[in-house]
């Protein structure tokens, strides 16, 4: 885990929004708040409640980082989450085959 304690809550939230390539409007919608309220979060004039943070977590926001400045390297991007959810819909044999193939491809790629 890496830390960014020099950044304040609003700046870290802004950073996560940029990382996810989202607008304030999209983040507000995902959080279940108005754009004005979301903007207040980024400006540091208002603090989100646990429900808002949980909503943001579901779209890939690293809530640990936003709250503490410590990045959770285990956080999955929305694409990673979609891939894993899709893989888990497959039967075990096919899933194992696909995962093995992907891991072998990555190993070859990294060797070159």
What's this model's pTM, rounded to 2 decimal places?
0.65
Strands (E), 28-107: 70-71
Structural domains of the chain, with CATH: 2-71 (1.10.260.40), 78-111 (no CATH)
CB atoms within 10 A of CB 78: 13
pLDDT on residue 74: 73
80-93 per-position pLDDT tens digit: 878 888 888 999 99
Q: Which of 65, 11, 85 is nearest to 41 (CA)?
A: 11
* Torsion, CA 56, CA 59, CA 64, CA 68, rounded to 10: -50
What pLDDT, in 10s, does the model give residues 55-101? 999 998 999 999 999 887 776 777 887 888 888 899 999 999 999 99
% residues pLDDT > 70 (the chain) = 94
| Cα-Cα end-to-end distance for the chain | 28
Task: Count CB-CB contacts under 10 A for residue 62.
Answer: 22
Q: Is 26 exposed, middle or buried (0-12, 13-18, 19+ CB in 10 A)?
A: middle
């Amino acid at each position: 885990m890496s830390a960014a304690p020099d950044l304040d809550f609003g700046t870290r939230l802004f950073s996560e929004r940029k990382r996810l390539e989202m607008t304030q409007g999209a983040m507000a919608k995902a959080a279940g708040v108005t754009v004005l309220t979301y903007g207040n979060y980024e400006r540091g004039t208002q603090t989100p409640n646990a429900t808002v943070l949980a909503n943001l977590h579901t779209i890939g926001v690293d809530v640990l980082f936003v709250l503490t400045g410590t990045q959770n390297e285990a956080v999955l991007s929305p694409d990673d989450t979609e891939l894993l959810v899709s893989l888990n819909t497959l039967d075990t044999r096919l899933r194992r085959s696909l995962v093995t193939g992907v891991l072998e491809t990555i190993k070859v790629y990294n060797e070159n």
